[in-house]
Chain A
Amino acid sequence: MVFAHGFGCDQHMWRFVAPMFEADFRVIVFDYVGAGDSDLGSYDAARYSSLAGYAHDVIEICEAMELHDVVFVGHSVSAMIGALVAIERPGLIDKLVMVGPSPRYTDTDEYHGGFTTDDIDELLGSLDSNYLGWSSAMAPAIMGNADRPALGLELSESFCRTDPVIARQFAEVTFTSDNRADLARVGVPTLVLQCRDDIIAPVSVGEFVQRSLPEATMVVLDATGHCPHLSAPEQTAEAIAAFVRT
């Protein structure tokens, strides 16, 4: 099972859910380039100017680790990255789990994604105004002083650590991509996992994803927010477990 994090965070997001599958599966978690402990030097603005670059990274990980019959669990934008991988490499992914997916965030005349392009610009502005905070949050990495009360906080700062420049481009790519047409080409059984109240990916968007996929079931969790794997990890794990065991 490969667990892929979404925009704004890193592999730590899966720390409540992924371990529950370790008894039955080989469990892989990873950071996209720019997030967590990834090698920032590997970032290539051209490669990551579309989700395809991230999809190729997933394929490279699977190939390097010689994975097969992969259950790919993708949160948020990674749900679409998983779809791209399934299309590009038929046979690599056996089952796909999409947690809070959205194939397009901005509205069109006939489609309701939930956001306007102005909203997305505002998000980018929001990232910029946290730019300074992020840089300084990345700086302190003081370890090993048990008598320092601030240690716990300093260590935990490393969760969701993201390079601000890369995060900005990832945000742009994430929130301006349109993968609606790709969904019909996903040839593997897919679980759409959805919170009942999620402003990033509302239930109506989850339903659109389920309708557009050839072979999909949808489970609406009694959870709120965009990260059920953090706010309701047991429910999330149960729903994934029920799907992978069918």
Chain B
Amino acid sequence: MSSGDPLGVNPAGGESGLELDDAELYADAPCGYLSTRPDGLLIRVNDTFLGWTGYRRDELVGVRRFVDLLSVGGRLYHETHFMPSLQMQSAVREMAFEIVCADRKRISVLVNSTLKRDAAGQPSAVRTAIFLATERREYERELLRAMQRAEESEAKANLMARTLQATLVPPAPPTIPGLDVGAVYRPAGSGEEVGGDFYDVFQVAVDDWAIVVGDVCGKGVEAAVVTALARYTCRAASVEHGRPDGVFQIVNEVLLYDGDKRHCTAALMRARRVDGAWHGTISLAGHPAALLRRAGATELAEFGTYGSLLGIFPLPRFTAESRRLESGDVLLLYTDGVTEARQGDSYFGEERLHRLLVEVEGGAQEIADLVVDAVLDFQDGNPRDDIAVVVIQVP
């Protein structure tokens, strides 16, 4: 090798005089290159731009403003966004426009502009580089359409989630004549995914009601299907079976043979009024016991005996436990979204729930709201799990 310059390129920037003509570099640059006054009037245009657009130099320079070359929609965008941005930040990059050529055809371009200022800081000229972007624009349009479709699908999915969500709880706040009932259902997160918690309050006969709170494992549409099945089977079976443990036998069978592997926990209480007094009979299926606050008591009692999860075992065991409910008693049925609410490493926990329930006052709905608000506050308003709470107060 005879020299350190095997390609024959000298450091001055050219081989035997090539690429040294600045005027030619400007005129035939691989981009359109324009200069305008600050008000947009064209004062210099390169040959590349004239070649693309079909205009003669004398049709543009000193005669037309850059904005005059744009489609009308582009002019609106130029005046409301492009120019203000350029005036404020002295440079604007990659703005998409369409330029109307001499033959009225349009070319899609990307525009970069810089605002030059004089020694006093006043705008003196705008330099604009223009790149053809026809194919890229077509590709971008496809991307945009895909993005819009994705947004539509997301909106549809959210709507479907909310619609399904609404089927998991009664449409109206539950009421039982002779009892004060309050309930809250709060789906996890922003509520845009269908959860697995549910509650229901329904009448079986005069002075004979059923209250159920449950939790299907998992989330999403599949969980919602199981949730709906469990909820409606509870309703149907309660008509034939007076005892909640009998109802759970049927729900278990239905879930077991449904084919879906999901299981479910639930607490079901039958409330009957006999000779003016309410009696509650409760069964638990893998679910936390109800909490009972007797009138005037400073401690809570657990109500319900632990039983099998629903939808797993061919021979499940459920127990029914009965108590007479007295005036002033408060009964809380809840899902584990309450006690397993987390803040860092600590859980909301049963102890906190007990302390809260001992202290709270007010009607059933107020108590339900207070419990859920406390759980939400504990998680900074963003629950990771669904929360369902039903409160019964005996007047």
The interface of chain A, by Cβ under 8 A from chain B, is 6-9, 12-13, 15, 76, 115-116, 118-133, 153, 156-157, 159-160, 162, 175, 197-200, 224-227, 230-231
Contact = CB atoms under 8 A, between A and B. Distances in A.
B79 A122 contact: no
24 contacts: A8-B81, A8-B84, A120-B73, A122-B72, A122-B74, A123-B72, A124-B73, A126-B73, A129-B108, A129-B137, A132-B140, A132-B143, A153-B89, A153-B91, A156-B88, A156-B89, A156-B90, A159-B89, A160-B88, A225-B40, A225-B79, A225-B83, A231-B39, A231-B123
Contacts of A227: 79, 83-84, 87
A132 B85 CA distance: 17
A20 to B, nearest CB: 17
Of B38, B67, B79, B108, most A-chain CB atoms within 10 Å: B79
Most chain B CB within a 10 A radius of its CB, from A122, A129, A131, A227: A129
A115 B141 CA distance: 25
A13 B88 contact: yes
A129 B81 contact: no
A126 B88 contact: no
Nearest to B82: A8
A231 B85 contact: no
B71 interface: yes
Nearest to A223: B39
- If over half of B's interface residues share one DSSP class (helix, strand or loop), that class is named, otherwise mixed; here it is helix
Given A8-B77, A9-B81, A129-B108, 13 more contacts: A7-B80, A8-B80, A8-B81, A119-B72, A122-B71, A123-B72, A123-B74, A123-B76, A130-B96, A156-B88, A198-B79, A224-B39, A230-B83
Contact of A160 (B67, B85, B90, B140): B85
Interface residues of B, number: 36
Interface of B: 38-40, 67, 71-77, 79-81, 83-85, 87-91, 93-98, 108, 123, 137, 140-141, 143-144, 147
Nearest to B143: A132
B77 A127 contact: yes
Given A76-B80, A160-B81, A122 B73 contact: yes
A115 B143 contact: no
Contacts of B143: 132
A125 B144 contact: no
Contacts of A133: 94-96
Contacts of B39: 197, 224-225, 231
Nearest to B67: A199
A118 B72 CA distance: 9
A226 B144 contact: no
